[in-house]
Structure formats: structure tokens, C-alpha cells
Amino acid sequence: MRYFQFPANFLNKIFTNPLTVLGAIMLGTIIGLHDKPLANMVAPLGKIYLSALQMSVVPLIVVMITCSIARFMQSKGLKTSVSYILLIFFIGLIISTFIGGLCATIFRPGSNIDETMLANIMKDAASSMIREIDLKTPIEADAFQNLNQFISELIPKNFFSALAEGKILQIVIFTIILGTAIGALSGTSQKNLLNLFESTQRALQKILSWLSVVLPIGVLGLMADQVSKVDLSLLLVMTNFICSLTFAFFSLIFLSSLIIWANFRGGYLESVRVMWTTIVVALTTRNSFLAMSEATDSFTARLKFDSLTTNLLLPLGITICRYGNVLYFSFTAVFIAQIYNVPLTFSTYYVILFGSIIAGIATSGATGVASIALISIVLEPLGLPLGAVFMLLITVDVIADPLRTLAIIYPNCAATSFIARREDSASIKNQFFK
């Protein structure tokens, strides 16, 4: 038995080493750029890995939130008030939209693209769908209808349909109701249900720990597939947009990392190193809920934040507070206004500020193109067309989407760390004065 245990442990250390994952990222990028047939061959490895993660994460969200809310009611609630938690989340949303709008205003990514250039790009594009888009015609979508539909579909008609369709916000709302109901029970029925959910949570986390061993293989396939789809000619046109947006995202991520470090009370590099797997999963899978499972483990097992607070607030925050999308929408709205030479007045920024927050919240459960389309919620009141620009945004989304996902995860981790540290301090004070 020991003969087999040594190579197994050795391989586990090799595959989970950050350098191995970094090597897989670099190799996948090289394959995607220089050998597209090989990229198509290894792409299924990434898709299988992504499917395995998705298989485990949605049930994990259900049991985590259910257990946390039930335990929350058992312990007579968090020491931190709900209004304070909402204030922290709202401040994060304001900061995100401010950073996005400010970076777009300073770097002016839309100043080097005019309507004629945009029309020529669309005319020369290989896709017939792009050629048919009229620059002067806004995308056929009613922003307020989208918002009304979003509100009307908050409550799931069928929980199992919501699970099958991956409607995360509906799943979370049902889970909150279920957790509240279990918390309101008493006696053995409550205890048995909580034991069942907590055992299920541990089992799902064990599956995710197995998947972390084969992370380099999944990353290789995902990176090769994503990079092989990049249109380099359009990326060159959008270079200023990409660089400015990347700077905006990393400004928000860096600020968030400082907050995590301050509440961790350890070394800064150590706090970043612990979040390494979360960063890789966010960038490669482009799914904030898949990265959430890694972040939860890092917070509770390694950074030693309060598990009740983490398991409750991190899923809720990632569901509702889509910081990366909010930043992206404010940045892109200013970018489109610059293309069409629309004056950016105080009232324009006001609409962009709050429109981006509403649109960001509305993207819960949506990724990629589906989330980009919701920028119409911001553009509609400003009278700005999305039209042809929409296709440019889709082209560069291969780069923007991973960063947007990471910018959803990190600020939510920062907010959770801030509140969790406050909870720890309140618990210590209560014990001291007993």
C-alpha cells in the first residue's frame, strides 16, 4: 500500500503546484495561437473539466446557503446588522462603476474609432451576421422590458427547472427560503436536515478537491480553445479598449486584494498565494460560481475567516453584486458615447452610474454574450445604439470575460473578509465580557 502511496502523493503535489498550472496556461496559449487543429483536439479536455465543475458547484451553492441561513437563525443572527452588510455591498458597487467610468474617461478608448472606421470593420468582417448589422440601428432590445422580465422571474415556478437551466438567482432565492424554513424548525427534524445538508456539502467539497488535482489538464484545454478563437485583426483595432479595460479591472482587483490582506493580518503575498487556485479557475472557466467554491475553501481553511459568514455572504454577494460586470458596463457605456461623440455631462454620468449597477445585478447567472447584451439597460436612456459595436464587444470578450469574472470574485471576497473579520472581533468581545 505504501508503495503506491508515494507516487500518488508525489503526483498530487506536482499537479497542484502553481507552476504546473502556470505552465499549462502558457502551453494552452501557445497551442491556441500556433496550432488550431491541435487546439480543437485538446478542447474537449477543458469542456469535460468545466462540466465536472458545474455538476458539483450548483448543488454546493444550495447546501451552503441553506446550512448557513439555518445556522444563522440558530445563532440568533450575525453580529453585523443587515443594513451594514448592504451598505458594504453598495459601496463596492459604487466604487466599481466609478473606476470603470473614470478609466474610460481618462484613457478615451473610443476616441480612435469613428463611425466610418466602425462601418468598414463590419463590412470587411468574415461573418455574415456582422455584415448585416446597420451601424445606425440600435440593437432590438427594450432595456426596461429586460429589467421588468428580470424582476418578474426572480421567484422560480419550478425549482428543478431552475436547476436544469442554471438560473442561479432563482436557485439562490429558493435556497434562502428553504434555509429560513429549516431554521424556523425545532427539535430532531431540524437537526437531521442540517446533518444531511452538511454531509452533502462535505461530499461535494471532496469532489471539488479531486477536480483540483486535474486542474492543469482542464486549464490546458480551456486556454487552447479560447485563444484559438481570437480574431487578431479586430483585437488590434480595440487595443486601447483592451488595455484601458484591463487596467480598470486590475485596479479594482488590486484594491480588493489590499482589503483581504488587511483583514487577513498576514503577509500580502501569502494572501495572494492562497487565492491562486481561485484566480486560475476564474480566468479559465470564466464562471464566478465555479471560482466561488475555491474561494470559500481558501477563506475558511487557509485564511481562517469565519465559516458561517463566508458560506452565507460569499454566494449571496457573487449572485447579486456583480462588481466586474458593473465596472464593464460603465466603462463600455463611456466608450460607446466617445465613438458617437456624445457629450458626457453630469446627468449622463448619473445615468451610467446607476444604470450600470442595475444592469450588473441583472446579469446574475448570465455569462459572455448574454451579459454583454444587458448593457442596453444603460444605453437606452442615453439614446446610444449598440448595433455594430456589439460585435466588436463580442470579439474582444475572449479577453474581457475572464477578467470580468475575476473582478466579480475578488471584490466579493474583499467584502466578505471585511464583514467576517468584524464578526470575529464581535465574537471575541462577547466572550471576553461574559
- Produce one character per residue of 298-326: b if its CB has 16 or more CB atoms within 10 Å, e if not: bbbeebebbbbbbbbbbbbbbbbbbbbbb
Per-residue burial over 379-409, b if 16 or more Cβ lie within 10 Å, else e, is bbebebbbbbbbbbbbbbbbbbbbbbbbbbb
Q: Has residue 7 got a pLDDT over 80?
A: no
Residue ranges of the domains in the chain?
A: 2-433
Q: What is the pLDDT of residues 327-349, one digit of tens each?
A: 999 999 999 988 888 888 888 88
**pLDDT on residue 95:** 95
Q: Provide the pLDDT for residue 99.
A: 96
Find the mean pLDDT for residues 274-298.
85
Could you tell me which of 140, 142, 141, 131 has the C-alpha nearest to residue 388? 131
Q: Are 377 and 351 in contact (CB under 8 A)?
A: no
Nearest in space to 377 (alpha carbons), one of 324, 318, 332, 319: 332
Select the more confidently predicted residue: 405 or 16: 405
pLDDT tens for 31-61 read 988 888 898 898 898 888 878 877 877 787 7
The pLDDT tens digits of the residues spanning 147-164 come to 566 566 667 788 888 777
Residue 350 scores a pLDDT above 90: no
**Backbone CA torsion sign across 114, 120, 124, 126:** positive
**pLDDT of 297 over the 60 cut:** yes
**Tell me, what DSSP letter sits at residue 299?**
I
Span of 115-119, 129-133, 352-356 with lowest mean pLDDT: 129-133
pLDDT at 360 over 60: yes
Sign of CA dihedral 236, 239, 241, 246: positive
- Pick 378 or 153 by higher pLDDT: 378
Domain 2-433 in this protein, CATH class: mainly alpha
